[in-house]
Amino acid sequence: MFYKWLDHWEERRAQRGDEGKKVTDVVLAAELAFPGAGNVASIADFCDLADRAVADPSYFDEPIGSELSFEAGNGWISFPSDISTETDENNTVFARITKGRSFDHALVVFHHWNARSRNDLLAKSFARQDITVVEIALPYHLERKRPGSSHADYMLSANLGRTIRSVRQGVLDGRKLIRWLRAEGYKEISVLGISLGSWVAGLIAAHDPTVRKAALFLTAGSLADMVWTGRATQSIRASLEPAIKLPDLNRAWGPVNLENYTDRLARPELDILVVLALRDKVVLPELSKRFVDRLNDAGAKLDLLEANCGHYSLSIPPYVIQSGRRLRALLCRRP
């Protein structure tokens, strides 16, 4: 009876999230994902560029000469993004910082798609345990929201190039913030990503060797498979399906597919926690388990929590307590 109620609660929550989502045209916009690409007219050519980006170890590196022009005060940090977009509001990054007592450990948090607030309880809880929590706004979210938009449609959409650019922008923003935290004296940096934020956090953990602990909640490897099968992204699939097949979408979005970086995530000094929801209709558990299997095959240092809840109900008791305890165990673990 409880799980029947829980599934019904999940569906009602998903229906609220459908508001404002529309079917749109597929747009390649390769120049947004691959600077200097020029005019790319076919999906096949886009996929070729994506394959090259996956093979390029510098694709998620900060630009040479990126400056730490940060403003900090009253519990907030802001700085210019190293990727400039057509939306002025999106070009300044904002993060809320809840400080612990020392400079030993900072946790950078990447929220879910269409987040409308930050997590006060999480921030205050870990700050009391002497872990500084920094909650960064992903592109086109919160303070970076595109004027007039009902949701963060520029972060994830049927515009193939802009979606890659947005995830890449989130990765570069996060790496720049981590570099600043290091300069401020923090000795240990960890990342937590939730749902879409887990792709950003996972890519940072894969490419930034200064990150030693990564918690990926409600995650999977393939962004394309998640969008194709997920309850929250049905309008995007409806947009994509007439123009592109799923195998081609997996190639096109290869640069942001965590399964392409399992060897990097399996480096010996990185501890990973994956939390998946067994009743999830947004990030299907079979996708999460496939990613976990690939991490295990690569030899990653992996801890796994399988919660018997849905995507949204991970945020309510008892599931939020279970995941919080496992996250605390990860962050307090000594090398």
The length of the chain in residues reads 335
Fold held by 2-59+68-332: Rossmann fold (3.40.50)
Cα torsion through 6, 9, 10, 16, rounded to 10: -170
SS3 for the chain is CHHHHHHHHHHHHHHHHCCCCCCCCCECCHHHHCCCCCCCCCHHHHHHHHHHHHHCCCCCCCCCCCCCCCEEECCEEEEECCCCCCCHHHHEEEEEEECCCCCCEEEEEECCCCCCCCCHHHHHHHHHCCCEEEEECCCCCHHHCCCCCCCCCCCCCCEHHHHHHHHHHHHHHHHHHHHHHHHCCCCEEEEEEECHHHHHHHHHHHHCCCEEEEEEECCCCCHHHHHHHCHHHHHHHHHHCCCCCHHHHHHHCHHHCHHHHHHHHCCCCCEEEEEEECCCCCCCHHHHHHHHHHHHHHCCEEEEEEECCCCCHHHCCCHHHHHHHHHHHHHHCCC
Q: With pLDDT > 70 as the criterion, what percentage of the chain qualifies?
A: 100
Tell me the CA distances in angstroms from 251 to 104, 140, 237, 305, one per residue in order.
40, 25, 16, 29
Distance between CA atoms of residues 290 and 205, nearest Å: 19
| pLDDT confidence of residue 215 | 98
Which pLDDT tens digit goes with each residue over 86-97?
999 999 999 999
Chunked into runs of 10 residues, the chain (335 residues) has average pLDDT values of 80 83 94 91 96 97 90 96 97 96 93 94 94 98 95 96 98 98 96 98 98 98 98 96 97 98 98 97 98 98 97 94 96 83
18 in Cβ contact with 233 (< 8 Å): no
| pLDDT confidence of residue 211 | 98
| pLDDT confidence of residue 27 | 96
| pLDDT confidence of residue 174 | 98
| pLDDT confidence of residue 257 | 98
| pLDDT confidence of residue 335 | 67
Which long-range contacts link 95-98 to residues 24+ away (Cβ below 8 Å)? Answer: 95/134, 95/135, 95/136, 95/137, 95/177, 96/123, 96/134, 96/135, 97/72, 97/132, 97/133, 97/134, 97/135, 98/123, 98/124, 98/126, 98/127, 98/132, 98/133, 98/134, 98/135
Distance between CA atoms of residues 263 and 265, nearest Å: 5
| pLDDT confidence of residue 107 | 98
Closest CA to 208 of 252, 174, 253, 247: 174
Beta bridge pairs of residue 105: 188
Cα torsion through 40, 45, 49, 54, rounded to 10: 140
| pLDDT confidence of residue 15 | 84
